[in-house]
Amino acid sequence: MPESSTDPSDRNSLRTRLRRPLPERWVQYYLGNGASLGWLLVVDGAAFLLGVSFYVHSDPSLGDLSSLAYPLFGDSPTALALATLSVATLIPHLGRDVTAAPSNRLLALLHTLAFVWLVKYGLWTAIALNLRPDLYFGFTPALLWEYWGILITHLFFLVHAAVIPYYGKTTREALVAALCLLLLNDAFDYGLGLYPPLRYDAGALLAGITVILSFVVVGYAAWAFDRHESA
């Protein structure tokens, strides 16, 4: 019988590259020293404030809601806040191997939530804009930001998420909690009609896609992260 053309070591290497798509030396350089990590935190903070400004001036706006609902209403700012907290946990570990950062159940929950929120709303934004490209796509000064600017900045969410499994771990409880919170967010967004402001009615199609994304990103997190093991 002919031998298989796919070597098991090649399959394992491909799986590793998919789970860890960035060279480890890059991750170490950007997250393992104070200057680059500091700049990342500054960029995250500025992006968070820009996102909050968007929701302050939207209709409905943050001013129309209880402050307890802000994390559910401001989907992208919530993702950035979680991402900022996640990378900030590396500050005490500066100068050491990023992949050997300490882990516990609380950190596992934080890193998991940051990962799934970043991936979900990076993808969600691209999908939402391109469901009605006639309302967003263009090259006028306004649309250069409202389509291309928003699309590109939210795709950077995916790059940001990609580095988290290098230093973070997850647990079964963190994955279940992440899925429950994402579905709660979906119920808030579409049950109350408080999804991120769009130029069109989200309808059943986008609502269904959003719920499917919740399951997909948690499944992806379960595959991408190593597991935290209690001492």
Residue pair 43/83 in contact by the 8 Å Cβ criterion: no
The DSSP bridge partners found for residue 226 are 169
pLDDT value of residue 8: 57
* In the block, residue with structure tokens 């802000």: 70
CB atoms within 10 A of CB 183: 15
pLDDT value of residue 139: 79
Rounded Cα–Cα distance for residues 68 and 65 (Å)? 8
Rounded Cα–Cα distance for residues 189 and 113 (Å)? 18
pLDDT value of residue 157: 96
Q: Residue range 133-162: average pLDDT?
A: 86
pTM score of the predicted model: 0.90
- pLDDT band at residue 143 using 50, 70 and 90 as cut-offs: confident
pLDDT in tens, 4-43: 445 555 566 767 777 888 889 999 999 999 999 999 999 9
Q: Which of helix, strand or coil describes residue 227?
A: strand
- pLDDT band at residue 133 using 50, 70 and 90 as cut-offs: confident
pLDDT value of residue 12: 64
pLDDT in tens, 183-220: 999 999 999 988 888 889 999 999 999 999 999 999 99
End-to-end distance of the chain based on CA atoms, in angstroms? 48
Rounded Cα–Cα distance for residues 141 and 94 (Å)? 42
Residue pair 120/82 in contact by the 8 Å Cβ criterion: no
Task: Kindly list the domain boundaries of the chain, sorted by start residue.
Answer: 22-227
| 169 phi/psi in degrees, rounded to 5 | -130, 170
The DSSP bridge partners found for residue 47 are none
pLDDT value of residue 1: 45
Is the peptide bond between 165 and the residue preceding it cis, with omega within 30 degrees of 0? no
- pLDDT band at residue 181 using 50, 70 and 90 as cut-offs: very high
pLDDT value of residue 7: 56
pLDDT in tens, 74-132: 999 999 999 999 999 999 999 899 999 999 999 999 999 999 999 999 999 999 999 99
Q: Which of helix, strand or coil describes residue 180?
A: helix
Q: How many CA atoms lie within 13 A of 179 on its CB side?
A: 15
DSSP 93: G
CA distances 136 to 36, 76, 132, 172, 194, Å, are 34, 19, 7, 39, 20
Q: Residue range 156-166: average pLDDT?
A: 95
* In the block, residue with structure tokens 């579409």: 190
